[in-house]
Structure formats: C-alpha cells, structure tokens
Amino acid sequence: MSQPTGDQTPERPDQEPAPEPTPPAGWGEPQGTPGYGPAGGTSSQGGQPPQNGQPQYGQPQYGQPPQYGQPQYGQPQYGQPPQYGQPQYGQPQYGQPPQYGQPQYGQPQYGAPVGYRPAPLQPGIVPLRPLGLGEIYDGAFRSIRHNPRVMFGLPVLVVAIGSVLAILISYALMPLIRPFIGDLFAGLDSSGELTGQSLDQMTNIYVSSIGAGVGTLPMSFVANTVLTGLLTVSVSRSVLGQRVALGDLWRSYGKRALLLIPYSVLLGLLQLAAYAVVLAPGFVLIGTGNEGAGVLMLVVGVLLLVVGTFWLVVRTMLIPPAIVLEGQPLWTSVKRGWVLSRGYFWRLLGIYALAGIIVWFIQQVISVPLAIVMMIAAFSDSGLLTVTLNVLAQALALIITLTFLAPVVALLYVDVRMRAEGLDIELARAAEAAA
C-alpha cells in the first residue's frame, strides 16, 4: 500500500461510503474477517488488485478500521497522532473481547471453547482412560449390575453349595472338638465361678465357631481362588460393554482359573515359612527361660509380619488377573503380575485398603444380628442351629467380599495397564471394531 505524500490531497470526508462486502458463504463461518492476500498492495479480498470504484486497501469497510486521513468517530484528525490506547471504531483492542462475528488472531473460533477436550470413550462400566478412586468403586458396582448372573449369581450358587458341605463337616467335627474346649475352660476356671450350665453354653459357642471355621475352609479357598478368577473375566468383558454367559465363562477360562489353586497353595506355604522363621527366635528364648527377651522378639516379629503381609498382598495383588486373562504359563504370569505392581504400591494399597474397610463395615452390619441370634441359640443347647448360623454368617461375609473386592482388583489391573502400557488405546480400538 502506498502512503499519501504531501502533494496528494486526502479524500473528502463527504465522499460516498464504499459498498458493504458480501458475507462469506458457509454455515457457521465468521463474518467480516479480512483475507490474507499476498504483500505488495493487493486487496484483502482473495489477493486480487483493486478495481475502479471498489474500496482500496486501507479504506473503511463494514466493521474494519477507516482509511488513514478520514476523520472518524472517536479518532484523531489528519495530522494528529493517535493516542495510545484509544479504541478505533468497530475494531476491538488488545485485551478487550472481540465484536460479535470477528474472531481475533490466536483466539478460539465459535464452537471450540478454551480447554475443550472430547469425552473419553466409554463402551462399558468405566471410561477408557486411567481411572480415579471413585471411578474404580463405581465401576465395581456397575459390573454387578451389568452382569448380575455371573457377578452375584455365581458367588451365591458356589457359596450356597459350599455352605451345605461346611455345615455337615462342622457338625461332624463338633464332638471331636468339644472335649478339648471343655477341658480348656475347666482349667481356666480354677476358682469354680462358672456353673455347669454357663460352662456348657460357652463351650457350645466356641465349639460351633471353631467347627464352622474349619468347615468353611474348603469353601473359602475355592471361592477366593477359582471364583475370583472367573469374576475377573466378567469384569474385563464389562469394561468393553460385553456380557459373558456362565457356560462360556467356564469353557473359555475354567482351566486358567484352576491355575490359581497351585499358585495360592504355594503362596500360603511361603507365608507359613516366613511366619515360622520370624517367630521362632521368640519362642526359643521363652523356652530357655528368657521370657522378657522372648516376648520382645515376638512383638517385633509380629510387627514385621504385619508390615510384610501388607507388602506381599499389594505386590501379589495383580498376579491372579494376569494368570487368568493373559493366557501365559503360570510362572511367567506370576512374574508379569509382580512387575505390573512395581511403582504403584501406595496407590494399590490405599484403594484396596479403603475397599476392605467398606467391605468390613458391611459385614459387621450383617453379622452382628446373626451373632446375637447365635448366642441365643447357644443357650438352647442346639449345636446344629448354632453351627448353621455361624456358617451362614461366614457365607454372607464371603459373598460380600467376592462381589466387591474381586471387581476392585480387576479394575486396578486394568487401570495399571492403562497407565503403564496404554491399554486404553487397545481397548478403544477393540470397542470401535466391535461396534
């Protein structure tokens, strides 16, 4: 654009205004936006040279700054320098909001707000991205509603069958346990304050509790191994919005879930060996007459075992999902689950511990009324009723544990893999391919 020289006369203020430009075609496009023509005096309309009678570059158009030299409303006259910060008519200044329909350079266009991010894909119970605490717990409840026949019906069926067997085993063991418990209470009551009826009632309570605990061990072991593995598969399918039938679940993953039995036995033996090694010095000192040192060693050993148990539970938490879902050999899956938990110890510990507290609270709400009824049954000298109520209380606690903690562990496995390996991208591709 050529600037006016001293021998050029500026255009008269009463010159007829230029015609308004035609708005650009297309729905939703901004109106009155200047084009980006090539440099060297070309016009703002697509880079074409100005024609006779058309507004020159720098002449005022609708919504654009006026030509230099024409006095406009609120602007200084020709020959007066403009004041810094004075707004020009029809043009927004730096720091002021733009006029309607005129987006500024570097600012978002209409329909794209600042910071907008598309919602993550969620074909199932959780969004396909790293999960938060509330999303994991919400996903655990959603998994039950999404596939109730597997997530709730299967635990109830297995625990119901196991409870019948546990009652029979417990009732058969009670006559064998009763003499030992009776002699123990009789030896503790050296003063003879307990009457014969009170002694029998306390014996019934403890005998039924011990018998029920021994009788429910097979049920608890199977439920916490094989059943937990099958529930993990259902949760992994629910993440993609899929339901798996009970028959298909067993045919496809039954053998993988059975691998959890030798794994759990091996892990239990290692824990027993660790308990023996840590507690043995304290018992040896007590046996040799050093009661003080022995008790101190036992206290320190118990504290070490508590810390070690929490550490082992967290580090082995993701091994069962890896065994069932990834289809690798047992030892490879064990190493795989161990490596996955590396770097996420405190996150896994906090979420799992809070879930355990929630489960414990629900268990207490259910078990306390049953314990009161069991106490009343113990006074009636009905061993079968007492052991039945005790087994029922443990069965309900086991169902609650399975239906909530198993989905939490499965979702923690998915969350860790999304954070460490980008599993959410693979799941999103699988969901889009299945859609």
How many Cβ atoms from other residues are within 10 Å of residue 208's Cβ? 28
List the chain domain ranges: 133-257+343-434
The CA distance from 375 to 370, in Å, is 9
The CA distance from 131 to 117, in Å, is 17
Q: Closest Cα partner for 257 from 356, 359, 139, 158? A: 158
Decide if pLDDT at 60 tops 60: no
Most trustworthy range by pLDDT among 161-165, 212-216, 239-243, 411-415: 411-415
| pLDDT tens figures, 135-161 | 999 999 999 999 999 999 999 999 999
Pick the more confident residue, 273 or 55: 273
pLDDT band at 197 (very low <50, low <70, confident <90, very high): low
Between the CA of residue 398 and those of 104, 168, 261, 318, what are the distances in Å? Answer: 63, 18, 18, 20
Own/partner contacts of 89-98, CB < 8 Å, gap of 24 or more, are 89/65, 90/62, 90/63, 90/64, 90/65, 91/63, 91/64, 91/65
The CA distance from 332 to 327, in Å, is 10
Residue 154 · residue 402 · CB < 8 Å: no
pLDDT band at 194 (very low <50, low <70, confident <90, very high): low
Q: What is the DSSP letter of 290?
A: -
| pLDDT tens figures, 211-231 | 888 888 888 998 889 999 999
The CA distance from 359 to 188, in Å, is 36
What mean pLDDT is reported for the chain? 76
Residue 252 · residue 237 · CB < 8 Å: no
CA-based end-to-end distance of the chain: 58
Largest Cα span, the chain = 130
Q: What is the DSSP letter of 78?
A: T
Cα 252–Cα 254–Cα 257 angle in degrees, nearest 5? 120
Residue 255 · residue 281 · CB < 8 Å: no
The CA distance from 240 to 329, in Å, is 25
Would you say the pTM of this structure is higher than 0.75? no
| pLDDT tens figures, 387-409 | 888 888 889 989 999 999 999 99
Q: Closest Cα partner for 10 from 75, 59, 62? A: 59
**Which DSSP helix (H) or strand (E) runs through 321?**
helix 319-326
Helix (H, G, I), strand (E, B) or coil at 220: helix
